[in-house]
Amino acid sequence: MLEKQFAGVRLQIHATRQEMGEAAARDAVDCIRQLLQEKEEIHCIFAAAPSQNEFLEALGKADLPWHRIHAWHMDEYLGLPDGHPASFGVFLKRALFDRVPLGGVHLIDGNADAESECRRYGTLLQQHPADITFMGIGENGHLAFNDPPVADFADPVVMKPVELDPVCRQQQVHDGCFASLDLVPRQALTVTIPWLTASSHLFCIVPSAAKRAAVEAALTGPVTTDCPASILQQRPGTRMYIDADCAGALMGEERP
């Protein structure tokens, strides 16, 4: 494992995505235990994507007082049929939420009226601010569904409906979530960047060569909505975990 610092981000580079996911889970467990020494209950926002598989698998095996943890997610497609396997709520239930006895699970309804659901879920998040956000980074640098055309570092709302960027939609095909681009929804709901990054603790888990350019831009480029994840440079204490395939030039001459 290699560790490097980029502005506010402490980066760990692991040889494999399995090692990456397990390391992120170990640190997450330590963070959760520390928080639960200070608070009776905590609230965690989770990303739903194949990039999180190893992390969620390892986290779900941890011996934690799960009944003191409330789980949220950060985005959802609009208009998918209930129970659709590509639904982010369905993904997270399968990957973690149904595997452990959580104190509460708060799902976004992608079939409700979009504006009403944004108000409902956004109000709940304001009432229960997240202690930890577990996130990934998209191929276009997005955080949740805050793609470059709609990302706003000073967004005045907690949650909003968005049109999905073509690169983002194509990523869903690359990830195997949909068989073809025409099946990927064009609209979604997303928690906004200010609210995602307001958590006391930020964990960012990003494997694979497909994310290499986005991660390099996020860590070494200017802070701009052209790469929404670049805002993490301004969030001291952010922990990012990547694998060697993702690292590229970030590794230099070293090897994990």
254 within domain boundaries: no
Quickly state the pLDDT bin for 255 (edges 50, 70, 90).
low
Quote the CA–CA distance of 112 and 79 in Å, as a whole number.
8
130 within domain boundaries: yes
214 within domain boundaries: no
Q: Which range, 83-92, 175-184, 243-252, is most confident?
A: 83-92
256 within domain boundaries: no
**What CATH number is attached to the domain comprising 37?**
3.40.50.1360
What mean pLDDT is predicted for residues 87-100? 97
Which residue range is the domain that position 154 belongs to? Answer: 2-209+219-249
What pLDDT digit, counting tens, does each position of 150-159 carry? 999 999 999 9
* Sheet of 75-77, strands arranged across: 75-77, 187-191, 159-163
Query: What's the number of domains the chain is made of?
Result: 1
255 within domain boundaries: no
122 within domain boundaries: yes
User: Is the per-residue pLDDT at 256 higher than 80?
Assistant: no
What pLDDT digit, counting tens, does each position of 179-236 carry? 999 888 899 999 999 999 999 999 999 999 999 999 999 999 999 999 999 999 999 9
